[in-house]
Amino acid sequence: MHFLKRNVVLLTAASIAIISFFLITFAGDFGKVFVSIFAITALSITAVQSVVLSRQLKKNQKKTKEALQFSESAYAAAWIDRKIKPLIPLPPLSRWALSPDTAGYLINLIEQKKPRVMLELGSGVSTIMAGYVMKEIGIGKIVSLDAEKEFLQKTKILTEIHGLQKEIELIHAPLEYLNLSDWEGYWYKLDVFTKFTEQQVDLLLIDGPPTTTGPLARYPALPMLEKYLSSDAIILFDDAERSEEKEILRDWENFGWHVQLLPFRAGAAMLVKRD
């Protein structure tokens, strides 16, 4: 269908050129005036056809992308269900949730690392998945922060439905103005992190705050939280393919952290401290 529509536009343009040539050659001055009017009208029609075709192609590309994402999410849901055996099916991995491959990587990372404390910036389906893995291995706790009360309440309900209250602690951390030497903007309220002074964080999952917060919204995570991380802590950084996140990761390498980009659909990176 796209091939035929594209050819209609090309044939229209070719017809304009051929008719214009004959009119100019054989019809004299009157033909030249006529062909000018004809050409302008025909070119306008062609331009409209091109715009319509372009929009249709973009619309279909979006539908194809959404279908592929749904397929990936369905496959991931089946794999995760077999892996963690939830009491009821989990919500789909879509929109702001971790991508399916990143979610699977997180599950395996928790199984291998067995973190005593996992800190998560941005709550959601990933919180519940991680909670199941923590419950299975028998150690560890997740502290999940979210600036949005609405999202936090939804995660709280899911936590109770899945019986993971012992493994998951949810904290509302509203955004407040923060001024660093090389960054300023809005980030999580600092007093919520005082609880990590006694037990350090072994795994940090960064999936917030959202980019709508401001430029380089996730930059403060490392300079503000590094003192709470254990010596062998691992950072999992979501959405690493976005331009601002790439810039953040380049800056963090200067803090002495090794960045490994992971080949996942939405982009992710794993960071470990250099020796």
In a domain, 141, yes or no: yes
Q: Is 33 found in the same domain as 164? A: no
Helix, strand, coil distribution of the chain in percent, nearest 5: 55, 20, 25
Q: Is 245 found in the same domain as 198? A: yes
Question: What's the pTM value of the predicted model, to 2 decimals?
Answer: 0.74
In a domain, 206, yes or no: yes
Q: Is 92 found in the same domain as 54? A: no
In a domain, 38, yes or no: yes
In a domain, 201, yes or no: yes
pLDDT string in tens for the chain (275-residue length): 444 445 555 555 556 556 555 555 555 555 555 556 655 665 666 666 666 666 766 666 655 655 555 556 566 677 888 889 999 988 877 655 688 889 999 999 999 999 999 999 999 999 999 999 999 999 999 999 999 999 999 999 999 999 999 999 999 999 999 999 999 999 999 888 877 667 789 999 999 999 899 999 999 999 999 999 999 999 999 999 999 999 999 999 999 999 999 988 778 999 999 87
What CATH number is associated with residue 135? 3.40.50.150
In a domain, 217, yes or no: yes
Look up the domain containing 187 and give its range. 86-273
Q: Is 105 found in the same domain as 32? A: no
Number of domains in the chain: 2
